[in-house]
Amino acid sequence: MRILSLILIASIGFILAGCGGGGSSDSYTATITVGPTSHVCKSEAAANSCKAGDCSQCQCLTGCPAGPGQAIALACTFVDGVARVPATGCTVATTPNRTLVCAAPKLYVLNGVGYTREQVLAGVSFEGPNPQQLFGLSFSCSS
């Protein structure tokens, strides 16, 4: 009976050692929010880069820019009263709501939401001094 118990304990220890025990030093995860977007970063270096504005090594969780063929859902970010419109597009809560895309030097606009970048680029374009004054707001292309 005693030998059987020792074999069982040794087997459990061997199985746990093969599975990495109970803890792992490479399980770093951080959620970083930069402006309207939240990212999950799997390394401390990626998290530090994301905090500094480069989140390319992290996975976007919320407020993510739309990819090709996806509807634009990201809200435009306002800095000092100017809406920053990225090339991937954003929406602004006006009456009616609008979807915008920047393809410098032009700003493209469609009334409504749920549009893809390609659809907005087929919409009305505006070209003028930066920031542009439209719908009672100021808009500027951002990178």
pLDDT of residue 1 exceeding 60, the answer is no
Domain boundaries, the chain: 26-64, 77-141
pLDDT of residue 127 exceeding 50, the answer is yes
Q: Read off the pLDDT of residues 76-94 as tens digits, 9 standing for 90 and up.
A: 988 899 999 988 899 999 8
**What are the CB-based long-range contacts (under 8 Å, 24+) for 43-52?**
none
Determine the average pLDDT of the residues in 49-67.
Answer: 76
pLDDT of residue 17 exceeding 60, the answer is no
Determine the average pLDDT of the residues in 108-119.
Answer: 93
DSSP code per residue over 40-82: EESSHHHHHHHHTT--TTSEEEESPPP-TTSBP-PBPEEETTE
